[in-house]
Amino acid sequence: MLKIVANYKELRQNIGMLIKHSGYKNSYIAEKLGIPSPNFSVKKKRGSWTIEEVEKILAIIDNEELEDFYLGKVMEKVEKEKDFVTLDELKKEMGWK
C-alpha cells in the first residue's frame, strides 16, 4: 500500500516534466482545467496538484509516447537504486496493461 502512495506522490511531482514532454502548452492545459495560467504555472513548479487535477491532466496529455518516456524515467531511477524488476512486474506494480 505504501508503495502505491509513494508512486502517486512521485507522479504528482513529475507532472510538470510530463506536461513539458507532452507538447501541450501550459495555457491550453490550464484552460481545460479551468485554472488561471499564473496559478497553473505555480502548481506546475511546486507539484501541488490535487488528485482530480492529476486525473484531468493525464486525460489531456496521455499518449503512448509519453507513457514510454515516463517508463524510461522510472527505469532510470530503478537502475540507480539497483532495485531491479522485470518489465512485467513494473507494469503490474504501476497498474499498466
Q: Rounded to 5 degrees, what angle do the CA atoms 69, 75, 81 make? A: 145
Cell digits for 40? 497553473
Cα 44 to Cα 78: distance, rounded to the nearest angstrom: 24
Q: How many domains does the chain have?
A: 1
Please list the ranges in the chain whose pLDDT falls under 70. Answer: 78, 81-85, 97
Give me the pLDDT at residue 92, please.
Answer: 83
Contacts of 11 (CB under 8 A, 6+ apart): 54
Host domain of residue 40: 2-94
Cα 16 to Cα 70: distance, rounded to the nearest angstrom: 12
Instruction: Find out whether 61 and 19 touch, Cβ atoms under 8 Å.
Output: yes
Give me the pLDDT at residue 56, please.
Answer: 94
Instruction: Find out whether 78 and 33 touch, Cβ atoms under 8 Å.
Output: no
